[in-house]
Amino acid sequence: MSHGWDSTLVFSIPGPLLASAAIGQLPDNARPHRGNMGSMHRVVIVGAGFGGLSAARALADERVEVTVVDQRNFHTFQPLLYEVSTAGLDPGDVAYPIRAIFGRTPNVTFRYGTVTGVDWDARSVRLEGTDPLPFDWIIVASGAIAKFFGIPGAQQFTHPLYTLADAGHLRDHILRRLEEIDAHPERITDGTLTFVVVGGGPTGVEVAGALAELLDVSVRHDGFDFDRSHARIVLVDGLSRLLTPFKESAATYAADTLKDRTVELQLGRMVKEVTATSVELDDGTRIPTRTVVWAGGVTVSGTIASELGALSDHNGRLVVRADLALPDHHQAYAIGDAAAVPWGKDKPGTTCPQLAQVAIQSGKHAAQQIVNRVEGRPTLPFQYHDKGMMATIGRRAAIAEFPKGRVIRGTLGWLAWLGLHILYLIGFRNKIIVLVNWSWRYLSWTSGPRIIVGEDMNAHPDPDDGSGIDHPGNDADAAVSPS
């Protein structure tokens, strides 16, 4: 199940930071001024994820006019979405308004809108419901989406974890299942309190560990009186071990820690089918459940990057030259998850995994190549600088693996994981709030904001199919407005 994706979900150990705080802090006399940019080259950046923001930041003091376009008005810190989905953090803690990042940067503006295509001849970006946006240069940083491998029922009945809306919806769904069991204790055996997590990469491991903590805290602090031993968390992966990009010892540590925390592992098992009330595995095992979290893979097929008429690989990622430009459209660059980013001379012929660090580094590189070309200099090939990987299993249990092979785990690994995520979060307020939240929860043993935001009380059972699943989309939007 996890082939080709586990390595995409690993956080890199510190390095050059996104330095969100630095954006907008350029000395005024170093900046081009709005209104005086008529002759400047226009750069459009599609997407304000890690890659798009990094590119925009690298162009912030250059003599180009930058427009960042995103279908959301906020940047999402995806590595902490699992915390939102398990009621550990609020949605607003892991999101940041894009306008607040660039509001004081004269040569960078934001356009809230959905890109529907590119007119290469006219050199303009098509936007839904409004005029096209002309460009001289374009950076495609539109990311990826969940991949369901064509497994029957997977798209329809599982909860992917890719956007803030996904996370908010999943949180509501999980909390509703707890309330449902409180009102109907007899349902404990029908899968209402069984949570299946598909995918044994870092996201799957993190969700499973956090769910175990949420269930513990619910019984211990929230007055739920279901029998905790009847609540199940099942982690399924097609490979025979967890966390495949990590060393075997790290995978064993993760497996042992999860088992200690009551997570059942179904490794070497493929999901065959998902229905409204169960998951069937390839060995015939049927797990009754109302909640399937999909952390099983990502793809670029189906995103705007796959609609550009440009060369792409088997997973939809845009093929790029060594300097990250598109081979058939030299004025276009592709970065981050949307691109098959070449690793560089350290590993010729290898493409980078879909990681935050890759997006950050490739975004900066693409921006620098545009500046080189605007100023008449040759472009340079990209080189990825591997910073290592991290994954957390929960309280006082995480793994950090450094490029030269050193591994730290347990409490030390966990502290490193906490520190790194706080460092990378965008916005001083978010950093402080997350730090306070985590410290409070650590000291008090309570959980975070266990709030059902969606107001559709009848989301369960779903009237359409009688399944008991409140399908994604019912109430997600209400759950996620960043504060």
Binding region for ligand FAD (CB under 6 A): 9-12, 46-52, 69-72, 78-79, 81, 114-115, 141-143, 161-162, 202-203, 303-304, 336-338, 354-357, 359
Element (H, E) at 53: helix 50-59
Q: How far is the CB of 389 from ligand FAD (least distance, A)?
A: 8
Q: Which is nearer to ligand FAD, 155 or 285 (CB)?
A: 155
Give bridge partners of residue 133 from the DSSP assignment.
Answer: 125
Return the closest-CA partner of residue 416 out of 430, 401, 429, 427.
Answer: 401
DSSP character at residue 49: S
Of the pair 114, 331, the CB lying nearest ligand FAD is at 114
Distance CA 129, CA 122 (A): 18
| Token output for 34 | 């709005």
- Among 293, 158, 161, 181, residue whose Cα is nearest residue 230: 181
Q: Which of 225, 246, 243 is closest to 235 using CA atoms?
A: 243
> Which position among 62, 83, 206, 213 bears the catalytic label?
206
455 is catalytic: no
CB of 26 to ligand FAD, least distance (A): 22
In the complex with ligand FAD, the residue whose CB is nearer, 71 or 383, is 71
| Tokens encoding 382 | 């990209």
Closest to ligand FAD by CB, 11 or 382 = 11
The tokens 């919806």 sit on which residue? Answer: 169
**3-state SS assignment for residue 307:** helix
CB of 421 to ligand FAD, least distance (A): 8
Amino acid at 382: F
Nearer to ligand FAD, 114 or 467 (CB): 114
| CA of residue 444 relative to chain centroid, distance | 28
Integer Cα distance of 46 and 237 in angstroms? 33
Please report how close the Cβ of residue 392 comes to ligand FAD at its closest, in angstroms.
Answer: 9
What's the closest the beta carbon of residue 170 comes to ligand FAD, in angstroms? 11
Active site residues: 206
